[in-house]
Amino acid sequence: MKAVCWHGAQDMRVDHVADPQILNPRDAIIKVTSTAICGSDLHLYGGFMPGMQAGDIVGHEFMGEVVELGSAVTNLSIGARVVVPFTIACGHCFFCDSGYHSLCDNSNPNAGVAEKMWGQSPAGLFGYTHILGGYAGGQAEYVRVPYADVGPMVVPDSVSDEQALFLTDIFPTGYQAIAQCDMQPGDTVAIWGCGPVGQFTIASAKMLGAGRVIAIDTVAERLDMAAGQHGAETLDARETGNTLQIVEALRDMTAGRGPDICVDAVGLEAHGVGLEYWYDNVKQSLQMETARPIVLRQAIMACRKAGTVSIPGVYGGIADKIPIGALMNKALTIKTGQTHVQHYLKPLMEHVERGDIDPSFVITHRMGLDEAPEAYRMFQARRDNCIKVVMQP
């Protein structure tokens, strides 16, 4: 089959590889009909994520048709059209049972390595680092899906591929970023990053009753989408200036109070201006820190006293100069984690079915799987106003 394979930094190729097989009783094989490139795939593409190996099949946003089932999967039938959560979860451990599917105890075959890095291992992920299992991903013609009896969800006929696809990751990720914050009606939410996850965070904040949403980014088209699609107020970080100036701007916009909820939807490759950006850039290049936590610092500094900082943006290792004094003295709460997709799949699918939201608004490009290397280049450079690429194998 054809699959998009990682061969190193800035090197994605479409390779011909062996088809996947059923290896465990709870497996299914899915024939992919639609797959997307995620912002976190760019961390792999940029070479910022440790634990990748040449030839790894990438992609964790995919949906398709069931073509083969393991002996223990009885709730799906051949031919069913399903979306597949990017977090691989067994459905039976303490964490799955508590709704924390991205923290599944059992799905990471390389849990021992993750324990050395992080103390405990979260769930395995499709198409990502071997630290999280090295599972072959969904930017391919076929995928082996473990625990298929609890992960994939059948898509109603009334919902198109493009409307259902983002239930695999970015819609629930944006939704969780708000849902985990105990938001009160009328709260002001500031969201750094207006990429796909940021857009769904903005949409979810509005859906869940935020009073004001302030969207922060450096790319004009993305700010336009935030304002146009969801009526967010916008702050162009590049025009506003450095961290202190952004914090001040947010203080001014909220009459001194600060946003009640601050969301870092950027993660480890944040951009900034001036000395701070160069400091992090040099340290990251020298591998003295694995992240440029510029947005995280801004979110902590800007957040209202006793407010919540929510981090859906991806981090892998170590970050520097976190303003722990602000965090402590302002009594902030941090909420973060990979997304518990299985937990949100059903209610969010109902939102889509009812027409509360049409997730396809975020798509800017439709391409074939063969064009993946070009799609990665374009998405990384934010060329041609690229926000979201959907590929059809």
Partner 1 sequence: MTSHKPIDRHNDGEAYLDSARERERQRALALAASVGTLMVAMRRGGLSGLALGAFSGLLAYRASTGRGLKGTGRAIARGAERTLVGHRTGPLELSASVTARRSPDELYAFWRDFTRLPEIMTLITAVEDLPDGRTRWQAETPMGGVYEWDAEVVEDVPGERISWRAVEEADVPQTGEIRFVPGPANRGTQVELSMRYTLPHGLLSAAPLGFVNALSREAVREDLRHFKQVMEAGEVPTGAIHATHHDGGVR
- Say whether residue 47 binds partner 1 (CB under 8 A): no
Q: How many CA atoms lie within 13 A of 150 on its CB side?
A: 21
Of 61, 105, 169, 280, the one binding partner 1 by CB under 8 A: 105
Q: What is the closest distance, in whole angstroms, from the C-beta atom of residue 9 to partner 1 in the complex?
A: 16
Q: What is the closest distance, in whole angstroms, from the C-beta atom of residue 28 to partner 1 in the complex?
A: 13
- Say whether residue 19 binds partner 1 (CB under 8 A): yes
- Say whether residue 316 binds partner 1 (CB under 8 A): no
- Say whether residue 111 binds partner 1 (CB under 8 A): yes
Separation between Cα atoms, residue 35 and residue 139, nearest integer Å:
6
Separation between Cα atoms, residue 86 and residue 138, nearest integer Å:
9
- Say whether residue 130 binds partner 1 (CB under 8 A): yes
C-alpha to C-alpha distances, 56 to 89, 145, 315, 342, nearest whole angstrom: 21, 16, 20, 25
Nearer to partner 1, 79 or 112 (CB): 112
Nearer to partner 1, 146 or 196 (CB): 146
CB atoms within 10 A of CB 67: 13
Separation between Cα atoms, residue 47 and residue 367, nearest integer Å:
24
Q: What is the closest distance, in whole angstroms, from the C-beta atom of residue 39 to partner 1 in the complex?
A: 23
Nearer to partner 1, 67 or 244 (CB): 67
- Say whether residue 134 binds partner 1 (CB under 8 A): yes
Residues in region 337-366 near partner 1 by CB under 8 A:
none
Number of residues that bind partner 1 (CB under 8 A): 39
Nearer to partner 1, 24 or 184 (CB): 24
The two tokens of residue 295 are 């947005």
- Say whether residue 43 binds partner 1 (CB under 8 A): no
Q: Which stretch binds partner 1 (CB under 8 A): 107-115, 208-216, 261-269, 309-317?
A: 107-115
Closest by CA position to 173, among listed 361, 57, 336: 336
- Say whether residue 110 binds partner 1 (CB under 8 A): yes
C-alpha to C-alpha distances, 329 to 301, 308, 325, nearest whole angstrom: 11, 13, 6
Q: What is the closest distance, in whole angstroms, from the C-beta atom of residue 138 to partner 1 in the complex?
A: 12
- Say whether residue 112 binds partner 1 (CB under 8 A): yes
Q: What is the closest distance, in whole angstroms, from the C-beta atom of residue 268 to partner 1 in the complex?
A: 19
Of 30, 40, 51, 369, the one binding partner 1 by CB under 8 A: 51
Nearer to partner 1, 25 or 209 (CB): 25
Of 35, 107, 290, 308, the one binding partner 1 by CB under 8 A: 107
- Residue 6: CB partners within 8 Å, gap ≥ 6? 12, 44, 45, 52, 53, 54, 55, 56, 57, 58
The two tokens of residue 27 are 């497996």
Separation between Cα atoms, residue 6 and residue 15, nearest integer Å:
10
Q: What is the closest distance, in whole angstroms, from the C-beta atom of residue 106 to partner 1 in the complex?
A: 4
- Give every strand in the sheet of 12-16, ordered side by side: 12-16, 2-6, 56-57
- Say whether residue 255 binds partner 1 (CB under 8 A): no
Separation between Cα atoms, residue 117 and residue 27, nearest integer Å:
28
SS3 of 50, please? coil
Q: What is the closest distance, in whole angstroms, from the C-beta atom of residue 61 to partner 1 in the complex?
A: 18
Nearer to partner 1, 90 or 300 (CB): 90
Separation between Cα atoms, residue 202 and residue 387, nearest integer Å:
15
Nearer to partner 1, 149 or 264 (CB): 149
Nearer to partner 1, 144 or 230 (CB): 144
Q: Which long-range contacts does 115-119 make (Cβ < 8 Å, 24+ apart)?
A: 117/317
Judge whether 328 and 305 are in contact, CB under 8 Å. no
Q: What is the closest distance, in whole angstroms, from the C-beta atom of residue 129 to partner 1 in the complex?
A: 8
Catalog residues that contact partner 1 under the rule CB under 8 A. Answer: 17-21, 23-26, 51, 53, 57, 72, 88, 90-94, 97, 105-113, 124, 130-131, 133-136, 144, 146-147
